Amino acid sequence: MYELKFLGRALDDLQRIDKPHQRIIKEKLLILAHNSEALKNNIKRLQGGEDLFRLRVGSYRVVFKKEERRLLILIVRIGHRKEVY
Protein backbone atom coordinates (compact mmCIF):
# COMPACT_ATOMS: atom_id res chain seq x y z
CA MET A 1 0.00 0.00 0.00
CA TYR A 2 1.28 3.43 -0.97
CA GLU A 3 1.17 6.55 1.17
CA LEU A 4 -0.59 9.55 -0.41
CA LYS A 5 1.04 12.94 0.00
CA PHE A 6 -0.32 16.20 -1.41
CA LEU A 7 1.70 19.22 -2.44
CA GLY A 8 0.23 22.50 -1.17
CA ARG A 9 -1.01 23.48 -4.60
CA ALA A 10 -2.79 20.15 -5.07
CA LEU A 11 -4.70 20.65 -1.81
CA ASP A 12 -5.75 24.11 -2.97
CA ASP A 13 -6.85 22.64 -6.30
CA LEU A 14 -8.93 20.00 -4.53
CA GLN A 15 -10.66 22.58 -2.31
CA ARG A 16 -11.79 24.56 -5.39
CA ILE A 17 -13.63 21.56 -6.85
CA ASP A 18 -17.28 21.05 -5.91
CA LYS A 19 -18.02 18.53 -3.14
CA PRO A 20 -19.48 15.65 -5.21
CA HIS A 21 -16.43 15.60 -7.50
CA GLN A 22 -14.09 15.92 -4.50
CA ARG A 23 -15.62 12.77 -3.03
CA ILE A 24 -15.13 10.82 -6.27
CA ILE A 25 -11.53 12.02 -6.63
CA LYS A 26 -10.74 11.01 -3.03
CA GLU A 27 -12.25 7.57 -3.60
CA LYS A 28 -10.13 7.06 -6.73
CA LEU A 29 -6.99 8.18 -4.88
CA LEU A 30 -7.64 5.62 -2.14
CA ILE A 31 -8.04 2.92 -4.79
CA LEU A 32 -4.79 4.11 -6.39
CA ALA A 33 -2.97 3.84 -3.06
CA HIS A 34 -4.26 0.32 -2.35
CA ASN A 35 -4.20 -1.22 -5.83
CA SER A 36 -3.03 0.86 -8.78
CA GLU A 37 -3.67 -2.07 -11.16
CA ALA A 38 -7.42 -1.57 -10.69
CA LEU A 39 -7.12 1.85 -12.38
CA LYS A 40 -4.51 0.98 -15.02
CA ASN A 41 -6.84 1.99 -17.89
CA ASN A 42 -7.16 5.50 -16.42
CA ILE A 43 -3.46 6.06 -15.73
CA LYS A 44 -1.09 7.39 -18.36
CA ARG A 45 2.52 8.59 -18.25
CA LEU A 46 2.91 12.27 -19.15
CA GLN A 47 5.47 13.38 -21.71
CA GLY A 48 8.32 15.55 -20.54
CA GLY A 49 11.39 15.41 -18.36
CA GLU A 50 9.81 14.41 -15.07
CA ASP A 51 8.38 11.01 -14.23
CA LEU A 52 4.76 12.19 -13.92
CA PHE A 53 1.51 10.32 -14.45
CA ARG A 54 -2.10 11.37 -14.77
CA LEU A 55 -5.18 9.73 -13.36
CA ARG A 56 -8.41 10.35 -15.24
CA VAL A 57 -11.43 10.92 -12.97
CA GLY A 58 -14.33 11.98 -15.20
CA SER A 59 -13.56 15.48 -16.49
CA TYR A 60 -10.85 15.95 -13.88
CA ARG A 61 -7.21 14.92 -13.92
CA VAL A 62 -4.89 14.13 -11.03
CA VAL A 63 -1.21 14.60 -11.86
CA PHE A 64 1.04 12.54 -9.60
CA LYS A 65 4.51 11.15 -9.17
CA LYS A 66 5.01 7.58 -7.98
CA GLU A 67 8.06 6.71 -5.89
CA GLU A 68 8.42 2.92 -5.78
CA ARG A 69 11.30 2.81 -3.29
CA ARG A 70 9.45 4.81 -0.61
CA LEU A 71 5.95 3.52 -1.50
CA LEU A 72 4.79 7.10 -1.93
CA ILE A 73 2.38 8.74 -4.35
CA LEU A 74 2.96 12.48 -4.50
CA ILE A 75 -0.09 14.39 -5.78
CA VAL A 76 1.19 17.38 -7.78
CA ARG A 77 -1.96 18.93 -9.35
CA ILE A 78 -5.70 18.31 -9.52
CA GLY A 79 -7.95 20.12 -11.96
CA HIS A 80 -10.32 20.10 -14.88
CA ARG A 81 -8.82 18.52 -17.98
CA LYS A 82 -8.79 21.86 -19.81
CA GLU A 83 -6.71 23.57 -17.12
CA VAL A 84 -4.47 21.07 -15.38
CA TYR A 85 -1.77 20.53 -18.02
What order do you get walking across the sheet with 43-45 strand by strand? Answer: 3-6, 72-80, 60-67, 52-57, 43-45
- The average pLDDT across 69-76 equals 95
What percent of the chain has pLDDT above 70? Answer: 99
The domains located in the chain, with CATH, are 3-80 (3.30.2310.20)
Return d(Cα 14, Cα 55) in angstroms, integer. 14
Q: How confident is the model at residue 3 (pLDDT cuts 50, 70, 90)?
A: very high
Residue-level pLDDT at 48: 84
Q: Is the pLDDT of residue 30 over 90?
A: yes
Chain mean pLDDT for the chain: 94
Residue 68: what pLDDT? 87
